[in-house]
């Protein structure tokens, strides 16, 4: 019979503990994704309360994923929970402030929040200006900027953004129609 040394037992125990820990983390991330995907399906069918519950579960399991917070914020807007939606939006932004998808989603969230309380329109303006600064050759961002500016009553700035969108993409029909409608 082979006798094991104490350090071998310690090494084996450490390996088993580390492996177990890694498996638990992986399982937790997997179940966070399952919750998120279930929330997306619920949201697609207009089941916003159910979606919020699943998104909340996903953020609880993996709070570092900005997409989870971003979608939770979006569904909270649909439920009219402005303060919570703004909190989740800011968490998503803090976790990934340079991601254009996050910023564009948050702009939509804040525009939706502005329908509940106009104070949120200022944040939408800040975010769209930041997005345009990050991607100055993206005509869609200028179009979105124009929509935010029109909502804020800044018609001249909105028209300027539409002109810029059309300079970048002369056949941008939505921008052209919005500019013509604003004349």
pLDDT digits (tens, 9 = 90+) for 37-87: 999 999 999 999 999 999 999 999 999 999 999 999 999 999 999 999 999
Q: pLDDT value at position 68?
A: 96
**Is the domain of 86 the same as that of 127?**
yes
**Is the domain of 54 the same as that of 16?**
yes
How far is 23 from 120, CA to CA, in rounded Å? 42
**Is the domain of 59 the same as that of 123?**
yes
Phi, psi values for residue 116, rounded to 5°: -85, -45
Token duo for residue 144: 């979105």
Residue 151: which residues within 8 A CB-CB, separation 6 or more?
Answer: 111, 114, 121, 124
User: How many CB atoms within 10 Å of residue 43?
Assistant: 20
Closest CA to 73 of 89, 92, 58, 60: 89
**Is the domain of 116 the same as that of 158?**
no
How far is 165 from 147, CA to CA, in rounded Å? 12
How far is 21 from 28, CA to CA, in rounded Å? 11
- Residue at 3 is within a domain: no
Please say if the pLDDT value at position 3 is more than 70. no
**Is the domain of 175 the same as that of 101?**
no
Q: What is the mean pLDDT of the segment spanning 133-141?
A: 92
**Is the domain of 84 the same as that of 150?**
no
How many domains does the chain contain in total? 2
For residues 162 and 145, is the Cβ–Cβ distance under 8 A? no
Give the structural domain span for 162: 135-183
Phi, psi values for residue 39, rounded to 5°: -60, -40
**Is the domain of 151 the same as that of 179?**
yes
| pLDDT tens digits, 140-161 | 999 999 999 999 999 999 999 9
**Is the domain of 76 the same as that of 144?**
no
**Is the domain of 105 the same as that of 180?**
no
Helix pair angle (48-61, 66-78), 10° resolution = 160
**Is the domain of 31 the same as that of 51?**
yes
- Residue at 7 is within a domain: no
**Is the domain of 111 the same as that of 58?**
yes
What's the CATH number where 80 sits? 1.25.40.10
User: How many CB atoms within 10 Å of residue 54?
Assistant: 24
- Computed over every residue of the chain, the mean pLDDT equals 91
Token duo for residue 43: 């949201």
pLDDT band at residue 183 under the 50/70/90 scheme: confident
- Residue at 178 is within a domain: yes
**Is the domain of 70 the same as that of 49?**
yes
């Amino acid at each position: 019979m082979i006798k094991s040394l104490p350090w071998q037992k310690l090494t084996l125990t450490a390996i088993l503990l580390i492996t177990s820990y890694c498996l638990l983390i992986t399982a937790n991330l997997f179940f966070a994704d399952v919750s998120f995907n279930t929330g997306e399906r619920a949201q697609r069918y207009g089941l916003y309360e159910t979606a919020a519950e699943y998104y909340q579960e996903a953020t609880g399991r993996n709070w570092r994923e900005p997409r989870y917070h971003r979608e939770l914020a979006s569904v909270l807007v649909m439920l009219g929970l402005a303060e919570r939606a703004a909190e989740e939006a800011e968490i998503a932004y803090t976790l990934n402030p340079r991601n254009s998808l996050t910023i564009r989603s948050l702009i939509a969230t804040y525009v939706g929040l502005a329908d509940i309380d106009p104070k949120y329109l200022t944040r939408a303006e800040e975010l769209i200006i930041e997005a345009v600064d990050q991607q100055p050759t993206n005509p869609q961002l200028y179009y979105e900027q124009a929509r935010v500016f029109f909502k804020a009553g800044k018609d001249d700035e909105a028209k300027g953004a539409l002109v810029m969108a059309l300079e970048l993409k002369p056949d941008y029909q939505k921008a052209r129609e919005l500019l013509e409608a604003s004349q």
